[in-house]
Structure 1
């Protein structure tokens, strides 16, 4: 036993000696090996003297070496802007009741106004008011859900006021991507099969909104001309139809074919067809119904965010989206989800946001000729949107002259802004048969950011609408192209 212990100690001592010798050898090898790797090290003194990168800006004599004042671009004057208006907006083109306001975006100071406090028919510039209100009340991340609820012996498709709901997925290039009935039907079928159901009764619920489905001043001519549908809380593809009479299944803002007069019924029928494709037979219906409070949820799909929907609405001047957003504003304020309740919600919220200038609405899209907004009110709305982070999608959603939306060629009568103003003017368009209006932002040639509204509510005749729009385009381009002093 003692001999074994001595042997173990001797072996351990030898291993220690070998380890020590190996360590010494490695230590001697490290400096040349590390040098070969060229590891960077800090120099003990500067190796290169830096030269001048930017030439110093001379400081005016007497201003003090610490002065950092920067000359701001000179703002347009009232007389300069008046000359632009006189040169570009003749009464022969725009009619007798032209209203104009131009303000400095940085300060809100009014630089020029001409009848800017007088109510005028705003047409689709009304959508600026609706967009600001919806974003302020609901927040930019809000979404709208379309659901399927289970009831005794069947299911109910419940409209949640999603104005972008589609039947099938849109092309990958489209933006934003809407929720689809196809996805909702697939999820519903899975849930029903999991419970052992292969056949159901189908109802559809539009009770989220109430009151008339057409606003004061609207006619069914607006539906037949492809501008809008009756407003209900359950609608796919905004009621746009193919020549065969089926839902169009794409976002085509320049499809002016007649739309459906029964958007909810057509949407429910499309949902029934999709259920059949997933092995669920609809034994009766679809028929109007109301899902009881607390009915179990089977499936749900949600819209894009409100900020994305607002941008789409403003780019396309989409009436169906605008009316749905106005209804959601009414619901958020505890008002009736009617046209009257929606209009009251928009005007009430604008007052809360500090917009106290003249406005009188009967709808949320501006399709009604009974709406009234003063040019100064549109300017105030844009100022609020520009100054409030949660409202910024109103600004980012404005069409860009010569490039996007209703300011691009072929998308509206306002597609003619060119030259140096292309890409510089961002504005919301508005037009009815004898109304032309434009409200937005523009940088002038000095770099000043201006907010403007130009409203021609009495164009001399429907045949002159294009001439009026071209005159307004010319005025916006002139704001961009001059210092107006």
Structure 2
């Protein structure tokens, strides 16, 4: 089962300088070295360049990657940030199902195309006795926000002497289909809602547009305006007058929220809005094409063996190598892209920090092997049935920053045990589990 809503109750082609982000300093470089399996001689030369601490880390990773809890299909890579040296790799170019690590690509695409200061607009227009709630792709819209919209709309109606209206919703911004290739029926609406341009945050319903309209209608009634008939779908009229407007928080803040709690609905909305910003249709195909263009065309990330079908990582058809995930993470701390992409690094959950997917409420970094890395690792989690991933960054024992990505598919172990093993690998990169 995907793990993005309810926590457990228990339990490098360019050199660059170190970058400090937020309260935790982070650094990385673009990954260009081939996998050890593809070029053993290069891997041997790389190993000869490692310092004592790095050699120890690599030896420990070689042992711990064989942990039975990880199963037989596991890949990983570790890169030294400042020198571009590859510290360790294991089938790093093998494409596996990355689960929610896909959100890293989605975030980079959205921030690059739309910009970190971008805001999404939901508006209410009036015409011919009808109020139309127009969706703008904001999946952080709350009931409180709708209340403010209702207040503004009612004030405008009263000034015009209007006391009774019909209500409809306009969600044309996002066309069908509302469900991606590779989504299991059991995912919605609990893990993800069918993607629409209008939704109330936290409302797990099959039709988010009608649900938002119904909430809006009730709020109008509470403020003394009579709503006649039920809430229907319809297009806002060309001559309708805007009587209320809500603008979301900046995209940078929304991205951080999405990553920390792994919000699938926000991810899918961002994918559609990225498509629109890039001049493409607001579909899954348009969004993933826009992200691919950003990654390869703008930043030069290798898309070999890269297949992406949604923005959240719920698609079981998606395949991305650990090597590519590391390259994507590397971008987020490149000083040339700091203003745009630092928000991805800022949004990574911190090991042991409550309120994010690496917190103790999720049973993460709470074993004897990994507890030492609490507060020292930032990483994006990913969990689907048969797929668990962890990609992030940490400062190692040699005092240098490392970028890592670990992805496993098909382990027969209990998922909690597999996550513990991945946390142990991250602690190994940090060096606290020596």
Shorter-chain TM range is 0.7 to 0.9
Change (3 A) 1:414 1:160: farther
| CA positional deviation for 1:478 | 1.4
Computed over aligned residues only, the root mean square deviation of the Cα atoms, in angstroms, reads: 2.0
Cα deviation 1:187-230 (Å, max 9, x = unaligned): 11111111111111111011000121111111331125x21111
| CA positional deviation for 1:412 | 5.9
Following the alignment from structure 1 to structure 2, what is the Cα–Cα distance between the partners of residues 160 and 415? 41
Following the alignment from structure 2 to structure 1, what is the Cα–Cα distance between the partners of residues 264 and 254? 12
Q: Which residue of 2 aligns with 1:444?
A: 396
Following the alignment from structure 1 to structure 2, what is the Cα–Cα distance between the partners of residues 123 and 347? 17
Alignment of 1:44-123 (within 5 A): 79-123=55-99
Cα deviation 1:371-407 (Å, max 9, x = unaligned): 1111111111111111111111100110000114111
Q: Which residue of 1 aligns with 2:333?
A: 386
2:414 pairs with 1:464: yes
Alignment of 1:392-407 (within 5 A): 392-404=342-354, 405-407=356-358
Residue among 264, 267, 274 paired with 1:319: 264
Following the alignment from structure 2 to structure 1, what is the Cα–Cα distance between the partners of residues 281 and 422? 37
Residue among 293, 301, 316 paired with 1:355: 301
Higher RCO (C-alpha 8 Å, min separation 6)? 2
Q: Which residue of 1 aligns with 2:11?
A: none
Contact 1:442/1:449 (<8 A) preserved: yes
Following the alignment from structure 2 to structure 1, what is the Cα–Cα distance between the partners of residues 398 and 350? 20
Q: Which residue of 1 aligns with 2:192?
A: 228
Alignment of 1:277-296 (within 5 A): 277-293=222-238, 295-296=240-241
SS at match of 1:284: coil
Residue among 165, 173, 182 paired with 2:141: 165
Change (3 A) 1:108 1:382: farther
Residue among 394, 416, 429 paired with 2:381: 429
| CA positional deviation for 1:87 | 3.1
| CA positional deviation for 1:353 | 1.7
Contact 1:88/1:472 (<8 A) preserved: no
Following the alignment from structure 2 to structure 1, what is the Cα–Cα distance between the partners of residues 83 and 343? 21
Aligned residues: 379
| CA positional deviation for 1:265 | 1.1
TM-score with structure 2 setting the length: 0.83
What 5-or-longer segments of structure 1 have no aligned partner?
1-73, 169-179, 240-258
TM-score with structure 1 setting the length: 0.75
Residue among 372, 382, 385 paired with 1:420: 372
Change (3 A) 1:294 1:350: farther
Residue range with higher mean Cα deviation, 334-343 or 158-167: 334-343
SS at match of 2:73: coil
Following the alignment from structure 1 to structure 2, what is the Cα–Cα distance between the partners of residues 165 and 411? 26
Cα deviation 1:18-38 (Å, max 9, x = unaligned): xxxxxxxxxxxxxxxxxxxxx
Q: Which residue of 2 aligns with 1:42?
A: none
Q: Which residue of 1 aligns with 2:361?
A: 410
